Amino acid sequence: MVMICQLLVEDPDLAEAVAPDLRARATEECIAPVARLTRGRWTGEQPDLPRDAIGLLVLEGLLIRRVGVDGRFGAELLGAGDLLRPWQGEDAEPTLPHTTGWRVLQTCRVAMLDDRVAGRLSRYPQLTARLVGRALERSRNLAVQMAIVHQPRVHVRLHMLLWHLAERWGRVGVEGINVALPLSHTMLADLVAARRPTVTAAIAELEKRGLVRRVDTGLVLLGDPPGELLELRSLVLPHAAGSSGIGRAAG
Q: What pLDDT sits at residue 13? A: 95
Q: What pLDDT sits at residue 99? A: 63
- Cα separation, 241 vs 226, in Å, equals 14
Q: What pLDDT sits at residue 88? A: 73
DSSP the chain: --EEEEHHHH-HHHHTTS-HHHHHHHHHH-EEEEEEE-SEEE-S--TTS-TTS-EEEEEEEEEEEEEEETTEEEEEEEETT-EE-TTTTSSSPPSS--EEEEEEEEEEEEEEE-HHHHHHHTTSHHHHHHHHHHHHHHHHHHHHHHHHTT-SSHHHHHHHHHHHHHHHH-EE-SSSEEE-----HHHHHHHTT--HHHHHHHHHHHHHTTSEEEETTEEEE-S---HHHHHHHHHH-GGGTT---TT-SB-
Q: Which of 195, 204, 196, 158 is nearest to 179 (CA)?
A: 158
- Cα separation, 105 vs 37, in Å, equals 10
* CATH architecture for the domain at 149-240: Orthogonal Bundle (1.10)
Residues sharing a CB contact under 8 Å with residue 112, sequence separation 6 or more, in sequence order: 32, 33, 34, 35, 46, 48, 49, 53, 56
For the chain, the structural domain boundaries read: 3-140, 149-240
Whole-Å CA distances, 223 to 41, 46, 155: 36, 43, 16
Q: What pLDDT sits at residue 27? A: 97
Q: What pLDDT sits at residue 201? A: 97
Q: What pLDDT sits at residue 90? A: 53
Determine the topology of domain 3-140 in CATH.
Jelly Rolls (2.60.120)
- Cα separation, 139 vs 156, in Å, equals 22
Q: Do domains 3-140 and 149-240 have the same CATH topology?
A: no
User: pLDDT in tens for each of the 251 residues of the chain?
Assistant: 679 999 999 999 999 999 999 999 999 999 999 999 999 999 888 777 887 889 999 999 999 998 866 666 789 999 999 999 888 755 555 554 456 789 999 999 999 999 999 999 999 999 999 999 999 999 888 888 988 998 999 999 999 999 999 999 999 988 899 999 999 999 999 999 999 999 999 999 999 999 999 998 899 999 988 877 777 766 665 554 444 454 444 33
Q: What pLDDT sits at residue 100? A: 74
**Contact criterion met (CB below 8 Å) for 59 and 86:** no
